[in-house]
Amino acid sequence: NVRRYPDGWGEAAPLTGLLYCADCGGKMYVHRTNNGKRISQYTCSQYSKVPVGKLCTTQHRINEDVVLSLVSEMLKAIAEYAKHDRAEFVRVVQEAQSSQQTAEVRKQRTRLATAKQRVSELEVLLCKIYEDNILGKLSDSRYATLDAQYEKEQSELTAEISVLEKAVKSYEKHEKDADRFIALIDKYENFDKLTIAMLNEFIEKILVHERDRKGSIQTTQEVEIYFNFVGRFVPPAFGEVELTPEELEEIRKREERKDRLHQNYLKRKASGAQKRYEDKIKGRKKAEIEAKKAAIRAEDIAKGVFVPVSSLPQREPMKGVQTA
């Protein structure tokens, strides 16, 4: 869990500690304003580390309200699915959970059986070389070499078996987690308003991919939600929308227009026209954004949300305590 606390913007960010970059694995940090507007956005923390773009090539920017809306809709769909067919819901949840762990656990169980069998074989070998040494069939030096070799292998396998048994037991324990997740779904009547407590109860982590078309207002962006107890679970048919031929044609035209605008942008960038335009408006645009941010800050000061350090009462500096 990550401690969330009010900051200079007056309230805790609900998704702090839950969002991660899907490409580099870095945490995503919240920014409370964007271009002078109150729009909370999350970006990859690794991208901005100097040199910028070295640890992660892009920001993976995403609006907070988009993520909250997606989580809300996902939980609503899960709750509705559970209500409609409880038995099928339990089966699908357990199946989804099992598919994420079965391959690894199967490998661990196979290795565990092999290791245990080898330990038993080594025990037999240790007894045999001891008898051979007593009967004079095996020299003392040869016995000492084999004894040390078998003891070392047996010790290493015993340690490995301990680790594997813990892993398998942990998996068997998690098989019951599907029931815990279902009980958690039943705990709430609706998911219209997600509180920080609810997010902590349900969400393990959220992975944010880069937008399919950077710089575009309308674009797709993959977001993976991993729930506590069951991992990544998407209810059947979630997000599937059957589009009409007219809607498909509209999407095609919109994407063509985006392609055309992007190509024009690349041409302007190559010719230097884009940079000249940006340099021309940079000062004015920066001043406009700073004015908007100042207005937001003034509004927060008026509400008592933010208190400038300069307005705090002055205190006498503390004097050091002298020792005799």
Contacts of 8 (CB under 8 A, 6+ apart): 306
Residue whose pair of structure tokens reads 């070799």 in the numeric block: 149
Instruction: List the single range of 158-172, 250-264, 280-294, 297-311 with lowest mean pLDDT.
Output: 297-311
Contact by Cβ (8 Å): 67, 15? yes
SS3 8: coil
Q: What letters, b where the CB count within 10 A reaches 16 and e where it falls short, cover 199-218?
A: bbebbeebbbbbbeeeeeee
Per-residue pLDDT of 65-124, as tens digits, reads 999 999 999 999 988 888 888 888 888 877 776 666 667 788 888 999 999 999 999 999
Closest CA to 220 of 260, 257, 251, 242: 251
pTM of the model: 0.66
Per-residue pLDDT of 159-204, as tens digits, reads 999 999 988 877 766 666 777 888 888 899 889 999 999 999 999 9
Domains of the chain, by residue range, sit at 85-184
Mean predicted lDDT score pLDDT of the chain: 84
Closest CA to 195 of 68, 41, 9: 68
d(CA 306, CA 7): 9
State the pLDDT confidence band at 141, using cuts at 50, 70 and 90: very high
pLDDT of residue 100: 63
Average pLDDT rounded to a whole number, residues 122-143 = 93
* 42: amino acid identity, one letter: Y
Contact by Cβ (8 Å): 230, 182? no
d(CA 20, CA 34): 20
- Backbone φ and ψ for 28, nearest 5 degrees, come out as -105, 130
pLDDT above 90 coverage of the chain, percent: 33
Average pLDDT rounded to a whole number, residues 235-239 = 77
